[in-house]
Structure 1
Amino acid sequence: MDVASWGPTLVIVAAVVDFLIRLTCLIYVPRNRRPQTATAWLLAIFFLPPYIGVTLFLLLGSRRLPKSRRAKQAEVNSFITETTEGIEEVKHDHPWLDPVVELNRHLGAMPLVGGNQAKLYGTYDETLVAMTEAINNATKWVHAEFYILALDKTTAPFFDALEAAVKRGVTVRVLLDHVAGVRAVGYRRTKRRLRKAGVQWSLMLPVQPWRGKWQRPDLRNHRKILVLDGNVAFTGSQNVVDSSYNKKGNLRRGLHWKDLMVRFEGPIVAGVNALFITDWYTETNELLMREASTVPRPRVQNSLDAQVVPSGPGFDGENNLRLFNSLLYLAQERIIITSPYFVPDESMLYAITTAAQSGIDVQLFVSEIGDQPVVYHAQRSYYEELLRAGVRIWLYKAPTVLHSKFFTIDDEVAVIGSSNMDMRSFSLNLEISVMVHGKTFVDDLRKVEQEYRDTSRELFLDDWTERPRAAAVLDNVARLTAAVQ
């Protein structure tokens, strides 16, 4: 056979291989995936050249952590369950909450605990000052875990406090996400400062295949945690970085982030610390048994019941999504949501629109502008459906990016933490959420919500449906990409 005759044969072979690849993908891709996610992946594979689509799927298609990491998560979960049996026996007047508490316990091992106090911090500077002061008051140990931890003029006092703590004999441990850290301005400077301070530190979810450290590269540890001596814990939405994130584009546009953090005291601190211990063990192989114990505290009046709900690819289920949906369906009067990145899956979209159509007051706070174009446009694609269902949407005015992450159910229950209401937070990010039962805490959040309302403009259906057609097309295309996980 001469060379010229190979052409038709090669075409036939290529067509057969292409068909077999597509057939294999049709069988394998939908396995154990949401239909919308599987459909998005299949579209990507079929519309792109097969070798490109399949390569992307092999690189990004699995949201599971490596087996060794999942084994460590299971080991720590068993330890938490064994050491906290009976703690969840909290007296409250709302038995309707019991199934949610049991669900959370089953999913994340953490118990519901009473006797807690909480204080909210709604401005960037006051949060950094409060956390820095708490570090300066630590006497035994400091555990700091942040998605982004960056040294700059704004955060320099925080780093100084870490170094001062080390010098007075306090054990300081720090965790920061690898990919987010690399992308942050001043990453090398930050690492040098941590070394100079003498703290023990490690990267979370490092993408370092040359060191045998590899998982899907866009799996991220998105938690924000600071725990001190087992007495005090901070968590919420704020990273340790300037509110502009020091990025040229943000500075040019005048963007600043607005966050919400909460300081806890009481037994719930041990639950927050358990997440740090889990992540520290995963990254360093050191299990901090001594620091896992609960600090005894007398029960105080008007205390709060609280439960830590960890989530992420280290768990079999989407813990945060299950918690959120359970509470959404329990609402009787109102649901108020604040989420900077709001890209719900179908189950959450149904829960929210069903509540609104049932006459429940449902309100959503989001930013007028976005810092992540694809997510921003995907989020906008849901507005019309939400508005038609009766959801009131408030757009926090530019140039501030509303980055707070919390929601309230009636006047009794709230959830606050690091989790967005988007499919990335449900499936790909390690997150922390804290469910709090107590009217006083919800009342404090009501004040925050009113502050946001006063600084927002309400979006109305008539105005939204008249937006340019090109913008609507862009929104809908972005919505498709949001499902590729």
Structure 2
Amino acid sequence: MVYIAFLILYFLAGIVIVIKLILYGVRPTKTLAWMLAIFTIPVGGMLFYLLLGRNRRKNKLFQLKRTDEIISYLEKAESHYESVTEEEYQEHQKLIRLITMNCGFAPSAGNRLKLLKNGDATFQAIFESLQKAEHFIHLQYYIFEDGELAEGLFELFKQKVKEGVQIRILYDGIGSRSLSKKYIKKLQKAGVEIYSFLPVKFGKFLSSLNYRNHRKIIVVDNKIAFTGGINVADKYLKGDPDLGIWHDMHLQLEGPVVHSLQAIFVMDWFLISNQDDILSPSYFTTYKKMGNMTAQTVHSGPDEDFSATRQLYFSLINEAKNYVYIANPYIIPGEAILEALKVAALSGVEVRLLLSDISDSKIVRWCVRSYFEGLMEAGVKIYLFSDGFLHSKTIVTDDTVSSVGTTNLDLRSFEQNYEVNVAIYDDSFAIELKNDFLRDCEQSIQLDYATFVKRPWIEKLKEGVAKIFSPVL
């Protein structure tokens, strides 16, 4: 009787899930695959669906309620922009409008942006800025690890709290799982407010495990901000025993664009802590012109209607007329981006992809390589960086527009992670990023299509198996 009752309950639960798949499924092929898994893999099929298959964009399980306080806060942030009109950037009108509609952040003028390459330059700039903090420090990272870097931040934070500086820290519950409770308690004892973003808890295991906050943001006094690919980990300074030095790109920002990064931190903080003191108008600064660069912040997450970061990449690739240069460690693009890359290359646009020759995950490495043959057949040039591990997430097109941020070119970043990028509408910045990209290409190995297609069948088999898992990598 117990067995029969279990079968009936399982069948009824399966029917409920199938109805949800029919109502909210994104693609027919994916919907059919989940339906087959649920009814052909006992228990496991349903568990996998609950963990990995639910459409967060429809269910809105993690949606930040746009309360009156949040709406008022965002309006205040917008009012501090030195804004620009779309007419000032005729060639990028569609992209500007797309980001504004998706994210609510218009482009802002009067900014000064600086590229920071690798850990030494990045953390030198970060520590210098943190030392100058007078009012508050807001810090958010996917990976925050114990080590010399973390200890250096602790000593600095301890001193700053004594000076009356408010310090708030968000760290991801999975990405920073190795961060010790001892270190967290030290920070709390020193007066630092610190929260874990979606920590894995028994009651919320299935609803939160697969949805992570991959953002890296620092805002100091609303005067200077940082974002990009670099996490708080010693491997960015001393290297990794297996992967060598981690090469990455970060961004230092000054000017009104800082307000949008502050707004993203505030919304994440409010979502997790439910503390509304951070919505105070005292956290705003009216800017004088800091530079002559125009920038626009792009953010996305599993609780939003559209993946703004995917649409950013898609638009930049489609609008390119001369070249598209992308540096990214995890290129598992999905159908839309994959087709856009092929169409661009077949149309005569020079498309280059720069990836790391080594990877921090074998299955990810094989999955990434499973796309190489089709891309190269269409004319895409692929370069493998071999001097350490390349972790940068950049794109530049036509010497006019570029983006630096946290978003990988994969389905996880597009669908399941909270991400942030900055689109920069500035020729000089684009050319600087392009020249750095080309220097890295010179140190890399360009794959040859004729040679690659002759690789052993066992490698093709590994690639094919790994590709099956692309939606969850």
* Pair in the same fold by TM > 0.5: yes
Aligned match of 1:207: 200
Specify the SS of the correspondent of 1:321: helix
Aligned match of 1:397: 386
Aligned amino acid, residue 235 of structure 1: T
Aligned match of 1:259: 248
Asked if residue 298 in structure 1 is aligned to residue 298 in structure 2, the reply is: no
Aligned match of 1:241: 233
Deviations 1:225-249 (A, max 9, x none): 00000000000000001116999xx
Out of 319, 341, 345, which is 2:334 matched to?
Answer: 345
Q: Which moved more, 1:96-105 or 1:109-118?
A: 96-105
Asked if residue 477 in structure 1 is aligned to residue 465 in structure 2, the reply is: yes
Shift in Å, 1:21: 7.8
Q: 1:235 to 1:23 in 2, by over 3 A?
A: same
Contact 2:147 2:234 in 1 (8 A): yes
Contact 1:151 1:189 in 2 (8 A): no
Asked if residue 140 in structure 1 is aligned to residue 135 in structure 2, the reply is: yes
Asked if residue 192 in structure 1 is aligned to residue 185 in structure 2, the reply is: yes
Contact 1:270 1:293 in 2 (8 A): no
- Write out aligned runs for 1:85-484 (5 A): 88-90=83-85, 93-182=88-177, 184=178, 186-209=179-202, 215-243=207-235, 251=241, 253-287=242-276, 288-290=278-280, 294-300=284-290, 303-397=292-386, 400-483=388-471
Shift in Å, 1:307: 0.8
Shift in Å, 1:207: 2.1
Contact 1:270 1:292 in 2 (8 A): no
Aligned amino acid, residue 436 of structure 1: I
Specify the SS of the correspondent of 1:191: helix
Q: 1:351 to 1:34 in 2, by over 3 A?
A: same
Specify the SS of the correspondent of 1:72: coil
Contact 1:141 1:229 in 2 (8 A): yes
Contact 1:131 1:158 in 2 (8 A): no
Aligned amino acid, residue 432 of structure 2: D
Contact 1:150 1:190 in 2 (8 A): no
Q: 1:297 to 1:291 in 2, by over 3 A?
A: same
Q: 1:63 to 1:147 in 2, by over 3 A?
A: farther
Deviations 1:147-187 (A, max 9, x none): 111220244222221222111111111110112221x3x52
Shift in Å, 1:198: 2.0
Specify the SS of the correspondent of 2:175: helix
Aligned amino acid, residue 50 of structure 1: P
Q: 1:15 to 1:29 in 2, by over 3 A?
A: same
Aligned amino acid, residue 289 of structure 2: R
Q: Which moved more, 1:52-61 or 1:90-99?
A: 90-99
Shift in Å, 1:81: 5.2
Q: Which moved more, 1:303-312 or 1:292-301?
A: 292-301
Shift in Å, 1:50: 2.7
Q: 1:342 to 1:117 in 2, by over 3 A?
A: same
Deviations 1:345-366 (A, max 9, x none): 1111111110000000110011
Distance 1:314 1:19 in 2: 29
Aligned amino acid, residue 98 of structure 1: Q
Contact 1:63 1:216 in 2 (8 A): no
Q: 1:74 to 1:213 in 2, by over 3 A?
A: farther
Q: Give the paired residue count.
A: 467
Distance 2:109 2:455 in 1: 49
Shift in Å, 1:406: 1.0
Distance 1:77 1:96 in 2: 33
Distance 1:32 1:88 in 2: 38
Q: 1:464 to 1:195 in 2, by over 3 A?
A: same
Aligned match of 2:48: 56
Contact 1:243 1:258 in 2 (8 A): no
Indicate the RMSD between aligned Cα atoms, in angstroms.
Answer: 2.9
Distance 1:467 1:180 in 2: 35
Q: 1:308 to 1:413 in 2, by over 3 A?
A: same
Q: Which moved more, 1:286-295 or 1:227-236?
A: 286-295
Distance 1:481 1:132 in 2: 39
Aligned amino acid, residue 464 of structure 1: F
- Which sections of structure 1, spanning at least 5 residues, go unmatched? 1-5
Specify the SS of the correspondent of 2:110: strand
Contact 2:247 2:389 in 1 (8 A): yes
Shift in Å, 1:41: 3.2
- Which sections of structure 2, spanning at least 5 residues, go unmatched? none
Q: 1:293 to 1:163 in 2, by over 3 A?
A: closer
Specify the SS of the correspondent of 2:50: helix
Distance 2:436 2:17 in 1: 48
Shift in Å, 1:268: 0.4
Shift in Å, 1:40: 4.6
Q: 1:22 to 1:169 in 2, by over 3 A?
A: closer
Q: Percent identity?
A: 30
Shift in Å, 1:300: 5.0
- Write out aligned runs for 1:4-15 (5 A): none
Distance 2:462 2:56 in 1: 30
Deviations 1:214-273 (A, max 9, x none): 7331110000000000000000000001116999xx52x253321111100000000111
Q: Which moved more, 1:186-195 or 1:316-325?
A: 186-195
Contact 2:144 2:232 in 1 (8 A): yes
Shift in Å, 1:413: 0.5
Shift in Å, 1:213: 8.6
Q: 1:296 to 1:59 in 2, by over 3 A?
A: same
- Write out aligned runs for 1:66-85 (5 A): 69-72=62-65, 78-79=71-72, 82-83=75-76, 84=78
Q: 1:72 to 1:136 in 2, by over 3 A?
A: same
Shift in Å, 1:79: 3.6
Shift in Å, 1:322: 1.4
Q: 1:387 to 1:163 in 2, by over 3 A?
A: same
Deviations 1:194-215 (A, max 9, x none): 22432111111122245x7973
